[in-house]
Structure formats: structure tokens, C-alpha cells
Amino acid sequence: MRLNGSCRSGCFYVDNAQEKTYNEKGGEQMRHIRSERFYKIRGALMHFLMHAVLHFRLLLRWCVLSLVIGVVLGLIGSLFVMCIGYGTEFRAAHQWCYLLMPVGGLLIVGAYQLLHDQHDKGTNMVLASLRSEAKLPVQMAPLIFLSTIITHFVGGSAGREGAALQLGGSLGATLGRVVHLRDKDQRILIMSGMSAAFSAIFRTPATAAIFAMEVGCVGTMQYAALVPCAIASLSASYIANLLGFPLAKYNVLQVPEMKPLDAAKTLLLGICCAALSILFCILLHRTEHIMKKKLRNPYLRILLASAVLLLMGLLFHTEAYYGIGGETIVNAIAGKAVWYAFLLKALFTAVTLGGGFKGGEIVPSFFVGATFGCVFGQIVGLSPSLCAAVGMVALFCGVTNCPLAALFISAELFGMDCVPYCLLVIAVSYLLSGYYGLYREQRFYSSKFADEHIHHKTRK
């Protein structure tokens, strides 16, 4: 047995029994540590696998639902574009179609009255549904589909995106109720439907996915909807392409390298477009308010709007401001536009939508921005073709308050060469357009100005 204590060298000794006890305790502690590590590793692996399975199931569910809604709205959207195209061509070949404007207006009002949807709020109801403040009725989809086709057939000055957002939102909400999704997931499916319809009708799939997430609540984006919106948008675009509708693309004739003077001119164009977007929104809302206040009967109101539109067409001896006006937009991007075109288009659109015809406001804003930008470029000595493209994007941003979607649409419509110019006007137009916009139900969750605190501001 070794003695306890210390030797001259300062070493300590223990007896064999104590040494054995220490070894046993040390071994038990090591086994305990290894056991804890094993269970921790096993727990982490189980946690990872559980989350991986849940996330995969979530991805699989959104893939299936988004593909369904993308394919369905790809087909419906393509049919809608086809009907609009045929209606526009037939009207252009038969001038007497304009005389049917009062009849078409009465049919639209009658259809909404018949289906008890006379208080239809259109796209605003879709945006309200994203906050669970409104339920989208099933009849919204067929009503907006038929009424927008009638509007274009008789020559009403309106766009197509109103139908796209309402079609997509209504069908998305219907599918969400059918498969018994939670309210939050139903809102995501509504955004997916909006993306799909927008993509099929406009053929800008990237913009469609971003716009649906951005338009409802400015300053916040629900990125949980990114996967379903992207899949729905791309699948709808694919279906439309199979049916013979190519991606949207405009050819900008001259894009010079940006120099300080060009940047200054572009900045000025952005300022002008911000002011023009405010005036455009005020004109649309005030015209609608005045017409509804003075003529509460929707039948009389739409008859008056029809008469005013026909008289304005006779007065100005032109048909350029009826319908979508796609040819005028193409001419503006080619560098040709008259100075008053943007004013007349804004007026025609305000009377059309204020009177009760159905359609969207974004395509008319394209018309207004393109023609104004073209004239601006002619005045300041910057490429009119480039200024038309830039003005188009600036108006879109100013009236929708969606800078990211505006940047994406500039790349998709005009190519990457125009993006530096578009980025500058988008930033300026977004800032200076303030809290005005096309949609009353749009909400602002962050301030446009650094010195202002904002939480839940409603647009003006």
C-alpha cells in the first residue's frame, strides 16, 4: 500500500482503493457525457428530420395548389385575352359597335343587379380580402370576365388588370374554401390567383408574382407567399405561351449610356411623372365620386357616361382613346406621340370607369406615362423612345405604390439596358407620389418620408 501524503519531491500518493474508486467515478462520468451527447445528437437529428418533413409537406401542398390555380387561370386568362382581342378587332372593323356603348353599359349594370352585386368594389375588395376584411364572392369572377369584355367591345377606355386581379382573387379564394384552408393560407392562395391571372394576361411572370405580394400592404411583403405566387405565375405563363401568347416585350430604339446631364433629365421626368400620377388618381376618384353623387341610379349613370364618351370621340375625331390603346403605346415607344394624348386618355378613362364600365386602370396609366414620356423626351432632347418606356414605368409605380414590381416590369418589358433609367424614375416617383394611389383599400405600413412616423395609413 502506498502512503498518503507528500514526498520530498512534492508528489501526492493515494492508495489503490481510492485510485480504483476515482477511476470508476471518472468512467461513469465519461459514459454519462457520451450518453448526453448521443441523446443531444439524436434529438437534433429528429428535430431536423421532423422540420424537413413538415417543410417538404408544406412545399408539396403549395406546389399542388399553385399548379392547379396556375393552370386554371392560365386557360381562363388566355381565353380572356383572346376575347378582348377579337372584340377589339371586330370593333375596329365595324364602326357601328360604338353605338352599342349604351346597350353594353346597361347589360353590365343589369348583370351586377341580377346577381345582387350592385355594390361591387372591384379590386378594392380583393385587397381588403388580403387582410380578412372582406370575403370574395364566387360570382365576382364571371361578372368581371364578361363585363370587361363588353366594355372593350363597345369601346370603353379601360385596362385588363382589374379583371386579372379580380378573376385570380375570386378563384383563389374559392379554391381555398373548397380545400378548407385556414384564413392565413386562403389569403396566400388569393395572392397566388392574382399572380397567375396577371401573368397569363400581361405575360410578365416575375412582375406578377411580386406585384401580388406588394400591392396590398405597402412597406411589408408576405414572403410566405413567394413560393406559391412564383409557381402559379410561371405555370400560368407557360400555359399562355402554349396557347400562342408570347411574353410581353417592347423594343426601345435608343438607350444612351447614362451621363450626368441624362440623369438630370431623367430625374426631372420622374418628378413630372409623380405629379402626373397624383393628378391621374385624383381625376379617377373625383369623377367617380361626382357621378355617383349626382346620379345615384346606376342605369342613368352609365347611359350618361356612354353619351359623354361618344361625344368626346366625335369632338376629337379619333378612336385612339377608346379601348386599351395598345397601338398608341407602341407608337409612343417608337418615338411618336401628340402632346395632348395623355390628357385625353386620362379623361376618357375617368368617364369610363366613373360611369360604371368595368376594367382596370393600370393599362391606361401605361398609355398616359408612355405618351407623356415621349413628348417630354422630344422637348428636352433625350431619346423619346427611352423616355416613353421610362414614363410608362414611372406612372405605374406612382399609381400603384409598388416600386419592386415596377422595377421588375421595366426589365421584363424593356430589357436590362433601360433599368438604370427606370430605377431612378421609380425611386423619385414612389417618393413624390405620396399616399395617393388607384386603390382605396391599399394600406401603408411604412412611411415614404424619413421624418414621418406611420403605422397603418390608408391611401388618399
- Identify the pLDDT of residue 77: 93
- Identify the pLDDT of residue 183: 83
Please state which architecture CATH assigns to domain 260-458: Orthogonal Bundle (1.10)
- Give the H/E segment covering residue 179: none
- Identify the pLDDT of residue 300: 95
* 430, pLDDT greater than 70: yes
Is there a common fold for 58-242 and 260-458? yes
> pLDDT tens-digit profile of 13-58?
445 555 555 555 555 555 555 566 666 676 667 767 776 777 788 8
> pLDDT tens-digit profile of 346-355?
999 999 999 9
Split at pLDDT 50, 70, 90, the class of 459 is low
Which segment of 44-53, 110-119, 377-386, 405-414 scores lowest on mean pLDDT? Answer: 44-53
Collapsing DSSP to helix, strand or coil, 360 comes out as: strand
Split at pLDDT 50, 70, 90, the class of 10 is very low
Which segment of 126-135, 156-165, 197-206, 300-309 scores lowest on mean pLDDT? Answer: 126-135
CA dihedral of residues 236, 242, 243, 246 (deg, nearest 10): 80
Domain layout of the chain by residue ranges? 12-51, 58-242, 260-458
- Identify the pLDDT of residue 8: 45
Give the burial class of 181: count Cβ atoms within 10 A of its Cβ; 0-12 exposed, 13-18 middle, 19 or more buried: middle
- Identify the pLDDT of residue 61: 87
Most confident range, picked from 21-35, 394-408, 434-448: 394-408
Collapsing DSSP to helix, strand or coil, 13 comes out as: strand
Percent of the chain with pLDDT over 70: 86
Superfamily classification of domain 58-242: Clc chloride channel (1.10.3080.10)
- Identify the pLDDT of residue 21: 56
- Identify the pLDDT of residue 451: 58
CA distance 363 to 356: 18
Query: What is the rounded average pLDDT for all residues in the chain?
Result: 86
Which segment of 74-83, 111-120, 307-316, 426-435 scores lowest on mean pLDDT? Answer: 111-120
The residue assigned the cell 360611369 is: 355
> pLDDT tens-digit profile of 233-267?
999 999 999 998 888 889 998 888 899 999 999 99
CB 397 within 8 A of CB 426: yes
Backbone angles phi, psi at 36, to 5 degrees: -65, -45
